[in-house]
Amino acid sequence: MEYRRLGASGLMVPALSFGAGTFGGRGPLFGAWGATDAREARRLVDICLDAGLTMFDTADVYSAGASEEVLGQAIKGRRDQVIVSTKTGLPMGDGPGDAGSSRSRLITACEDALRRLGTDRIDLFQLHAYDAGTPVEEVLDTLDTLVRAGKVRYTGVSNFSGWQLMKSLAAADRLGRPRPVAHQVYYSLVGRDYEWELMPLARDQGLGALVWSPLGWGRLTGRVRRGTPLPPGSRLHSTADYGPPVDDDHLYGVVDVLDEIARETGRAVPQIALNWLLRRPTVSSVIIGARDERQLRQNLGAVGWSLTPEQVARLDAASHRPAPYPHFPYERQEGFARLNPPLIAVPERAA
């Protein structure tokens, strides 16, 4: 397993980390993801640690806290071997204080997460969404308090827009508070919006990307193809509306190229999709999920080898979409590119 610094911090994280969204299995969304219990989770953690995957990501909202509880049981007795990442900020109830990033909510959420995880510290504590109703100064001051108390070691955010992230970073610098070191983002071969605004921001400001749903909400597993119905066990049957939208023609064009490269390399389609992400700028770790041992072992096979430059170029071309405003007027203008060189090359001809 390759290890990388998480952004500009000193924390070393594995190139692949494990997402515990399948642990617990409560509710319509997370129940469709999986219902891994403590015994099964411990077996999956065993396999991860044997492969050098030491970082485990969860959130309080995953199965209403059950994911944190199951993960805590699975890592019991080996806490010092793992990096625990969790998130808070999304609604956990209908009460006025059950969502957001107020001082009260963050302190309570941290204490609840520590209890459910059965630990005395959280290695990476992330804001699951931007809270426009709470002053950023209050948020940063509270996170600083948790860091100084030893309950949190690093902080990060998830699903922030560019202006929300820069506002937080600028305020942290102004106030002398710890900066977020990570941004947990959606990024995949069928969802490359991260590249236009957030990737250059991350490179400039020293944030590491933790990639969620790297297989496009289950669309790049190798089981979804043109002209065939969704496989019976696909979570897309019940969860497609919760995830990022993908145009079918675009999806099938990407899958066609993945199939070609799978035949050339002897690798599985998901392994190719994950390997493509591992070499993208600013990516510190790609979060993989698995309902069972077979899926986990397959996803772990994404490391230890590399796509060729020619194969990467074909995937780039097949997955490229026109730039959104305000980027599109300048995407292919050489003069502007000299002023603002893109981190990702724009294909000469998009497939």
Q: Which residues are catalytic?
A: 62
How far apart are the C-alpha atoms of 215 and 218, rounded to whole Å? 5
Which pair of tokens denotes residue 89? 């900020």
- First-residue to last-residue Cα distance in the chain: 33
Q: Which of 107, 167, 156, 98 lies closest to 127 in space, CA to CA? A: 156
How far apart are the C-alpha atoms of 165 and 144, rounded to whole Å? 17
Preceding omega of 309 cis (within 30 degrees of 0) = no
Which pair of tokens denotes residue 24? 């617990």
Give the length of the chain.
Answer: 351
Q: Which of 87, 110, 71, 67 lies closest to 180 in space, CA to CA? A: 87
**Which residue is associated with the tokens 């099964």?**
40
How far apart are the C-alpha atoms of 38 and 157, rounded to whole Å? 28
Which pair of tokens denotes residue 314? 């074909």
Q: What is the chain's Cα-based Rg?
A: 20
Quote the strand ranges of 29-105, DSSP E: 55-57, 83-88
